[in-house]
Amino acid sequence: MIKALKDAGISALIALGIFGAMVGLPSVVGEGGKLSLDPQPWTVAIIVAVVFIGRLGMVLWQANRKPRVKAKSAAHSKYTISNVAGPLLLIVAVVLPMAGDRYLIDVGVLVMTYVMLGWGLNIVVGLAGLLDLGYVAFYAVGAYSYALLAQTFGLGFWTCLPLAGLLAAFWGMLLGFPVLRLRGDYLAIVTLAFGEIIRVVLLNWTQLTGGPNGISGIPRPTLFGLKFTLGDGPDTFAGFFHLTPSVTYRVAFLYYVIFGLALLTNWVSSRLRRLPLGRAWEALREDEIACRALGINVTTTKLTAFAIGACFGGFAGAFFATRQAFISPESFTFIESAIVLAVVVLGGLGSQIGVALAAIVMIGGGEVFRDFNEYRMLIFGLALVVVMVVRPRGLVSGRTPSVSLGKGVHIAADMMSQGHG
């Protein structure tokens, strides 16, 4: 009974975390277009209560219905956070834009961008164990690639997206070569410098990049040629579907674009983890010398990790450029790398769901606490410290084996190596 109560309590907490922000704090447009929050504590309380009672009932019902089966598969029936939170988050992410709240979707886009960046960096840091402090460089390469290709050659977003990814991957390999022999602190320093070099070049190469003025008027993405402008011509989204033109369509479309890109990142990296390449990355993190003794080409393995991680950074960068319609070197400072790395570390190195949760907590949380003004960073910092004290290996730590003869057993994080850089 106590176990059931605890289980229900955890579900209620998850519900509170998710709906507290989404339902409990809707923003309304008041007089003079002023945005203000309209807290709905009772709605949230009701939702949380429903989840609590529902979960409690479900657990009790299951316990009473087939006690024998449960005893048998005790090891199996443990609800892991990825089994519960994964589908739940996915559903929330799919329906989020339907709320139609512009602010909410904007925050969603922001969170999703960091989820994607986190998943991309996770390949390099979490799987291959290479500490990369300059990930923002690939984000910048992607963004500038799209902006420049679109401005110079008039190419569209969907043509430029793979190009931006390829260019970022190329730069990932360029970074990879000199740092192949470096480990730990030294690797971190060089990658950090690489991030800064890219930014400084963007800042000073005025003829190409516009320097500190950046690039503006970057074209928006289209849906099979349908534009998301405020007109109602036949070539616009609203006109084609006979809808009232609204900015929300464009924002929602952008949301689904980044959502799709993030899912792609997740799919590719989860799949790679179960393939020889991903296994070699993880083996590299565990012991590089043993890898060499087993005939694994450490150079190629490291370069592929850098390139594929960078490629997803490039995709995210191209998306960032098209979403903002304006980019400048200011958007690609070291703090971005630090935030993405914090998302990965906080989420748990190598854990997909952990990174997603951490991005929601860090980026979404940062938005929710915007009202606290100067206390925001204080609360934020405190929260990070608390998480790291309570769960030093991140929110979701450990790993599931990529292949197993029987049932795969979750491997605790203290068994794993964190890589030597």
Partner 1 sequence: MAEVLLSVDRLTMRFGGLLAVNAVSFEVRAGDITALIGPNGAGKTTVFNCITGFYKPTGGRIIMHRPNGGDLELAGMPGFLINQRAKVARTFQNIRLFAGMTVLENLMVAQHNTVMPNVARGLLAVFGLGNFRHLEAAAIEKARHWLDRVGLIERADEPAGSLPYGAQRRLEIARAMCTDPRILCLDEPAAGLNPRESDELSALLMSIRDDGCAVLLIEHDMGVVMRISDHVIVLDHGVGLADGTPTEIKANKHVIAAYLGEEDPEDIAEIVA
Q: Which is nearer to partner 1, 1 or 74 (CB)?
A: 74
- Count of positions (residues) in the chain: 421
By C-beta, is 106 or 286 nearer to partner 1?
A: 286
Which residue among 162, 181, 297, 370 contacts partner 1 (CB under 8 A)? 297
The reply to whether 294 sits near partner 1 by the rule CB under 8 A is yes
DSSP SS3 for 39: coil
Q: Binding residue for partner 1 (CB under 8 A) from 1, 71, 98, 403?
A: 403
State how beta strands 326-327 and 215-216 pair: antiparallel
Rounded least distance, CB 384 to partner 1, Å: 25
| Interface mask toward partner 1 for 353-392; x: CB under 8 A | ----------------------------------------
**Of residues 320, 391, 419, 337, the one with CA closest to residue 118:** 337
Helix (H, G, I), strand (E, B) or coil at 216: strand
Interface residue with partner 1 among 23, 84, 277, 338 (CB under 8 A) is 277
Q: Give Cα separations from 57 to 61, 174, 376 (angstroms).
A: 6, 57, 38
Q: Which residues are 327's β-sheet partners?
A: 215
Distances (CA, A) of 125 to 93, 101, 193, 265: 26, 35, 17, 15
Amino acid at 339: I
Q: Near partner 1 by CB under 8 A, which window of 6-14, 40-48, 265-273, 361-369?
A: 265-273
Assess 73 for contact with partner 1 (CB under 8 A): no
Residue 290 binds partner 1 (CB under 8 A): yes
Alpha helices in 325-416 (DSSP H): 334-347, 352-359, 365-368, 375-390
Closer residue to partner 1 (CB): 293 or 390: 293
Tell me which of 304, 328, 351, 352 binds partner 1, using CB under 8 A.
304
Check: CB of residue 323 under 8 Å from CB of residue 251.
no
296 in contact with partner 1 (CB under 8 A):
yes
Applying CB under 8 A, does 74 fall inside the site for partner 1?
no
283 versus 355: smaller Cβ distance to partner 1:
283
Closest CA to 369 of 354, 357, 382, 356: 382
Q: In angstroms, rounded to a whole number, what is the distance separating the alpha carbons of residues 113 and 50? A: 32
Q: Which residues bind partner 1 (CB under 8 A)?
A: 268, 271-272, 275-277, 279-280, 282-283, 286-287, 289-298, 300, 304, 399, 401-409, 411-412, 415-417
